[in-house]
Structure 1
Amino acid sequence: MRQATLHQLKVFEAVARHNSFTRAAEELFLTQPTVSMQVKQLSKAVGLPLFEQVGKRLYLTDAGKELYTTCREIFDRLAQFEIAIADMKGLKQGSLRLAVVTTAKYVIPRLLGPFCQRYPGIDVSLMVTNHEYVIESLVNNRHDLYILSQPPEDLDVSIHPFLENPLVVIAWRDHPLAHEKNIPLKRLAEEPFIMREPGSGTRKAVQKLFDENGISLKVKLDLGSNETIKQAIAGGLGISVLSVHTLALEGVNSSLTILDVEGFPIQRSWYVIYPSGKQLSIISQTFFDYLLNEGKTVAEETAFQGIFSQASKSTDESE
């Protein structure tokens, strides 16, 4: 084991956690052959195989299980060491590790800008992924803070809302309903819907609204990307419900518009989350306080302001 490197242990831990060389490679931004080679070299250093292939499934051997447990202990100790060092350095330098759901990519980078200007010595690692992987990261305590719009209900975590995240109905700007007011939900249900994949927070919120009103939701197309959904809407394939933040970068000549529909916007929030009892480093605590105290103000000073105004106007007019 003296020949094993920390990099090899990180690669092995990712493969063991995902039970997949491919998914580990995607997470670590490495090629699959590189991941395979690192695991092979580590297995050689251990002197025993770490994985066994049964059909298409990958399983840890007994030696692999022991090493995986050891890796988790090592990485937990290193994380504690990083916290201690960051506290010693204060806010002059250090790192901040964030895991955020995909839609938050329209929000968090804009909030990070002023924060990083205020503390230029801080290096930020931002993992943008789907809800499932953020929860997995949260369970394994791999990041400092986590940004979600749908907090977990079955985990012992500290949950704090910091910014509104209303869901709005989006259509092509020349859609027949574009200029209608207070569109009934039943009328909207006649339109083909383009939605995020099953399990996404947005889709669950929309499904709940339709179920409460006894109306069937007609989903024509499932897509895993907000940008792809916006392109599909612009192409006339249907309408969708997305976070208003996804429109932040759309200009005045956007091909998309927000429909005025009863029951919308669906009011939601962004939450900053971390495991209960977790000791936040001084950097993590400072960013946490920044989100709670300044997040909404900073967001309103960016491109979100006009979008929020449009969504709010729709709500006011429908009332």
Structure 2
Amino acid sequence: MAKNLVQNLSRAATLRQLEILATVYRLGSIKAASEFLHLTQPTVSMQLKKLSESVGMSLYQMIGRKLTFTDSGREIAQSATRIFGELGALEMRLADLRGLKAGALRLSVVTTSKYFIPHMLGPFCERYPGIDIQLNVGNRRQIIERLEKGGDDFYVFSHPPEDVDTVSTEFLLNPLVAIAPASHPLARKRRISLAQLAQEPFLMREQGSGTRFAIEQFLQKHRLKLNVKMTIESNEAIKHAVMSGLGISILSAHTLTFGGNAGLVELRVEKLPITTSWHMVWPKSKSLSPIADRFLQYVHDEGRQLIESEFRRTGLVTKQLR
């Protein structure tokens, strides 16, 4: 059976059909794939139908408006993803041999890291202007889903998922600080106890957020319960809610350093900031392309120094970087 499937694929399936299938699998819908590939939806559907007929198996099914891959469709899509990953890596290795710097670097990052990742990318793009950067930003659940499909070079998390087989490397501190409006009574205090912090109305990130995960671990460690008044899914919305006097919060210092902090101050709370780190993550089964490997070296050296120097320059800094 497996031998016949391989023979059918090699005889009838085209690279274009496999590319379409892998794109639909990665993006989750025929509409999104057609827009990404600059094809019409009927063309995408027709090519997938031809591929399905070639292998003699159904690749996906529609349940309501939701596209769900069959086991065979998922296996072929994942194999196709690996094939195109190897072809992309080969292209960049050949480009390196020609003395060129070409190809693509694909990054998927959780929302909080979107504040500093572009600042890292700027100098890297200037150095390698021929590189096509594809940056996807999503919540933790969305980035984990992309990691499971393995279509990107790197995935940036503050807390890498433990149930996915990956390689992970820390590259930057991610200090979480308590913030309040400048007019808040606690803003004038030189030392604030955790008990005082717990009495204030608190604005919390949503369940599943890496920031919330770190805060909950901190609360458990110190046997502390916060006075949570509101759950908000956006760092920007939390900042504006704090500015409006709806409560105080704990956020990554990166959201303030690179996302703006007008009207906000860092509270001097004992045992804060909460110390976490940013991680570059990629599937263990995936080899790094030359460009990805070069970018990882850059991040660990110049990229990290760039972000840390910006921390020192702004004045809204944390104890670890003072």
Q: What TM-score results when the alignment is normalised by the length of structure 1?
A: 0.82
SS at match of 2:187: coil
Structure 1 counterpart of 2:216, from 207, 211, 222: 207
**Alpha carbons of structure 1 residues 158 and 67: separation in structure 2 relative to 1, 3 Å:** closer
Structure 1 counterpart of 2:306, from 298, 301, 306: 298
User: What is the CA–CA distance in structure 2 between the aligned matches of 1:104 and 1:88, rounded to whole Å?
Assistant: 32
Q: Structure 2, unaligned stretches of length 5 or more?
A: 1-11
SS at match of 2:288: coil
Name the aligned partner's letter for residue 249 of structure 2. Answer: S
What's the CA shift for 1:108? 0.8
Deviation string 1:57-116 (CA, Å, 9 cap, x unpaired) is 6544xxx54333222222211110110110110152111111111111111100111111
SS at match of 1:89: helix
Residue equivalent to 2:289 = 281
Aligned-residue Cα RMSD (Å) equals 3.0
User: What is the CA–CA distance in structure 1 between the aligned matches of 2:23 and 2:132, rounded to whole Å?
Assistant: 22
8 A contact 1:43–1:49 mirrored in 2: no
**Alpha carbons of structure 1 residues 36 and 165: separation in structure 2 relative to 1, 3 Å:** same
User: What is the CA–CA distance in structure 1 between the aligned matches of 2:316 and 2:34, rounded to whole Å?
Assistant: 39
Deviation string 1:195-251 (CA, Å, 9 cap, x unpaired) is 211121111111122222222122222222111111111121111111000012466
**Alpha carbons of structure 1 residues 123 and 175: separation in structure 2 relative to 1, 3 Å:** same
Name the aligned partner's letter for residue 279 of structure 1. Answer: S
What's the CA shift for 1:278? 2.9
User: What is the CA–CA distance in structure 2 between the aligned matches of 1:55 and 1:92, rounded to whole Å?
Assistant: 45
User: How many percent identity over aligned positions?
Assistant: 38
What's the CA shift for 1:10? 4.3
8 A contact 2:26–2:149 mirrored in 1: no
What's the CA shift for 1:271? 1.3
User: What is the CA–CA distance in structure 1 between the aligned matches of 2:276 and 2:182, rounded to whole Å?
Assistant: 25
User: What is the CA–CA distance in structure 1 between the aligned matches of 2:195 and 2:31, rounded to whole Å?
Assistant: 45
**Alpha carbons of structure 1 residues 185 and 25: separation in structure 2 relative to 1, 3 Å:** farther
Q: What TM-score results when the alignment is normalised by the length of structure 2?
A: 0.81
Residue equivalent to 1:12 = 24
1:1-319 map, 5 Å: 5=17, 8-10=20-22, 12-14=24-26, 18=28, 21=29, 30=35, 37=42, 40-42=45-47, 44-45=49-50, 46=52, 51-52=60-61, 59-60=68-69, 64-90=70-96, 92-249=101-258, 254-276=262-284, 278-302=286-310, 304-307=311-314, 310-312=317-319
8 A contact 1:107–1:299 mirrored in 2: yes
What's the CA shift for 1:194? 1.3
